[in-house]
């Protein structure tokens, strides 16, 4: 039954992807009208079916078009604390969903109707999310639209596609990849947490034409290619899920100077944006979500989700809006980049008392200038900032340690912290359950 259901979902997703690709030809006015209509329907639905949103929107006039700016902001902590009242199906209970996730081994549906996925998120706070069959097919259709941008269209010849990412059924990226693996392409799915030697051996045997991986994994693989252990010639790269640093870009480009697409999504909204073939920035798929790029946060209204409405939902990603539209002509706004996670903004004790805020970009800048640096993590705990760094084989540990210390001391300014630098052969820690590497982490 699962195989039949997967084929049905895939077929539905193909039809939806064709519709979504037609949206690429809309005008901004038509897109705005679509957003207004979908938002009004969504807010009214949530207020009628969700006890949480009924209370949240009490006193608001929802009879006419909804003014998004007047709606209260929500966040993961609040929605998880009130989960059973947030969802619009009273059969959905957080305790039941946690038990479902605990026993999940494949593509099992909760209550025969809902896919359930979870994330610890960049802030470490666990989130549990659900999608019904219609919502799931829309997400899959959105992924197929991205595949079309990348040149991975259905049809012959079949391409060899390798993914190195989450490999557990509780993670939405794994579920989506598996759902669309119907034989259109030859697919190799690898676990980003696996030993690098095994990853290299499997990729050498498979010889992928298309390679998708987290940026930190691509950087590791590029180092293996530089040392001669990895011997692959991909024609297309794609990455998502982590901050893409300048150092990672240089290392990967030095090995594979091929089209490299960035994809943007969250567990809450799996298909939020992607590069087109112009690579001018990340197109925000505003037919599926309304995205508010504010100075200190990102607010996402998922226009697809009704089982678990996410309206003006605060996402901890730090993003930069592109100043100009893409010359490709698509109506969607562009993000110049995703600069990091909100919890990566460090609040450090300051000399003389008080606190000083240090943006992750202030730390990544000096790290990008350290010669021979392969990968690094920065962990903040109390009055200590620890840098764990892996170097290229020809790099002097003493020289790298000195460069890291000098650069970060300048970036930290008035922060009163002890700076420790540890040089290690490879970064063996810091990946979460989905295999993502947290580059800058603040621990309570």
Q: What is the pLDDT of residues 316-325, one digit of tens each?
A: 787 888 989 9
pLDDT attached to residue 53 = 98
Is residue 434 in some structural domain? yes
Domain of 411, in residue numbers: 345-443
CA dist 143 and 264 (Å) reads 11
**pTM, to two decimals:** 0.82
On whether residue 313 sits in a domain, the answer given is: no
412: in domain:
yes
pLDDT tens-digit profile of 3-57?
788 888 989 999 999 999 999 999 999 999 999 999 999 999 999 999 999 999 9
In a domain, 207, yes or no: no
CA gap 435, 241 in Å, rounded:
10
Q: How confident is the model at residue 125 (pLDDT cuts 50, 70, 90)?
A: low
Across 284-293, b (16+ Cβ under 10 Å) vs e yields bbbbbbbbee
Is 145 a domain residue? no
Residue 374 lies in a domain: yes
416, part of any domain: yes
Strand pairing category for 440-443 and 384-391: unpaired
Using CA atoms, how far apart are residues 165 and 173, in angstroms rounded to an integer?
Answer: 8
How many domains, in total, are found in the chain? Answer: 1
Q: What CATH number should be reported for the domain holding residue 397?
A: 3.30.300.30
Domain assignment present for residue 382? The answer is yes
Q: Render pLDDT for 198-245 as a digit per residue (tens, 0 to 9).
A: 999 999 999 999 999 988 889 889 989 999 999 999 999 999 988 888
d(Cα 141, Cα 144) in Å, to the nearest integer?
5
């Amino acid at each position: 039954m699962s195989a039949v259901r997967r084929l049905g979902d895939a077929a539905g997703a193909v039809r939806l992807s064709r519709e979504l690709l037609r949206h690429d030809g809309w005008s901004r006015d038509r897109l705005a009208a679509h957003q207004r209509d979908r938002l009004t329907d969504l807010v009214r639905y949530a207020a009628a079916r969700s006890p949480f949103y009924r209370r949240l929107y009490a006193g608001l006039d929802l009879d006419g078009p909804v003014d998004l700016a007047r709606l209260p902001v929500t966040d993961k902590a609040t929605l998880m604390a009130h989960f059973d009242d947030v969802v619009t199906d009273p059969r959905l209970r957080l305790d039941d969903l946690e038990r479902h996730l605990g026993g999940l081994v494949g593509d099992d549906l909760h209550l025969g109707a809902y896919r359930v996925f979870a994330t610890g998120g960049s802030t470490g706070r666990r989130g549990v999310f659900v999608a019904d069959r219609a919502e799931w097919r829309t997400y899959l259709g959105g992924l197929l639209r991205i595949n079309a941008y990348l040149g991975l269209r259905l049809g012959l010849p079949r391409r060899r596609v390798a993914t190195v990412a989450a490999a557990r059924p509780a993670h939405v990226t794994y579920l989506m990849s598996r759902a669309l693996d119907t034989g259109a392409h030859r697919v190799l799915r690898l676990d980003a947490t696996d030993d690098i030697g095994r990853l290299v051996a499997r990729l050498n045997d498979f010889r992928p034409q298309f390679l998708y991986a987290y940026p930190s994994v691509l950087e590791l693989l590029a180092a293996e290619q530089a040392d001669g252990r990895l011997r692959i010639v991909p024609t297309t790269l794609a990455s998502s899920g982590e901050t893409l640093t300048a150092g990672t870009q240089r290392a990967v480009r030095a090995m594979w100077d091929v089209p490299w697409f960035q994809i943007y999504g969250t567990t809450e909204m799996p298909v939020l944006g992607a590069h087109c073939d112009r690579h001018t920035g990340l197109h925000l798929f505003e037919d599926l979500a309304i995205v508010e790029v504010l100075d200190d946060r990102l607010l996402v209204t998922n226009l697809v989700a009704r089982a678990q409405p996410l309206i003006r939902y605060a996402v901890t990603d730090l993003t930069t809006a592109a100043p100009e539209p893409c010359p490709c002509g698509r109506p969607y706004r562009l993000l110049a980049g995703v600069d990091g996670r909100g919890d990566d903004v460090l609040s450090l004790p300051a000399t003389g008392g008080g606190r000083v805020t240090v943006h992750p970009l202030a730390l990544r800048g000096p790290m990008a200038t350290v010669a021979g640096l392969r990968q690094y993590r920065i962990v903040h705990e109390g009055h200590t900032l620890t840098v764990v760094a892996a170097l290229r084989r020809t790099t002097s540990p003493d020289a790298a340690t000195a460069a890291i210390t000098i650069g970060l001391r300048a970036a930290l300014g008035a922060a009163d912290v002890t700076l420790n630098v540890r040089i290690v052969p490879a970064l063996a820690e810091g990946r979460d359950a989905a295999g993502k590497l947290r580059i800058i982490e603040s621990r309570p």
